[in-house]
Amino acid sequence: MMFDLDMLTRLLALLFLFVFLLALMRLLFGEWHNPNFRQLVVDYFRVIIGLPAAGVFSFLIVALFQSTVGAIRVEMIGFKFEGAAGPIVMWIMTFLAIVGAITMLWKKTER
C-alpha cells in the first residue's frame, strides 16, 4: 500500500490531536488531586488549556485544508504569500481567530 502526501498529512494531524488530548488528560487526571494545581488550572484556564488547544486546532485546520485543496496561497490587501509562507500565515490567522473567539466568548468575572 502506497501512502501519498495527503494521507500522511492527515495522519500526522490526527496523531498530533491524539497526543495533545492524551497529554492533557494525563496532566489533568494525574495532578487533579493537587489543590494548588487545580486552582491554577481553574484560574488560568484560557492560558493553560485554551492557547495550546488553539495552536493544535489551528495546525489541524491548516494541515487538513492544505491536504484537501493543495498549496496554500494567501493574498491580502498588498501582500501575497506563497510556498512555505502561505501555511505559516494561514496558521497565524486561524490561531488569532480562535484566540479572539475564546476571548470574546469568555465570561468576564470580577474578583
> Predicted confidence band at 68 (pLDDT cuts at 50, 70, 90)?
low
**What is residue 109's predicted lDDT score, i.e. its pLDDT?**
57
Q: Is the pLDDT of residue 97 over 80?
A: yes
Q: Give the Cβ contact number of residue 85 at 10 Å.
A: 14
Q: Is the pTM of this model over 0.75?
A: no
**What is residue 42's predicted lDDT score, i.e. its pLDDT?**
82
> Predicted confidence band at 3 (pLDDT cuts at 50, 70, 90)?
low
**What is residue 110's predicted lDDT score, i.e. its pLDDT?**
47
Residue type for position 103: T
Q: Where are the domains of the chain?
A: 5-105
> Predicted confidence band at 1 (pLDDT cuts at 50, 70, 90)?
low
Chain center to CA of 79 = 25
**What is residue 108's predicted lDDT score, i.e. its pLDDT?**
63
What is the rounded radius of gyration, in angstroms, for the C-alpha atoms of the chain?
A: 18
**What is residue 106's predicted lDDT score, i.e. its pLDDT?**
74
Reduced to 3 states, what is the DSSP secondary structure of residue 11? Answer: helix
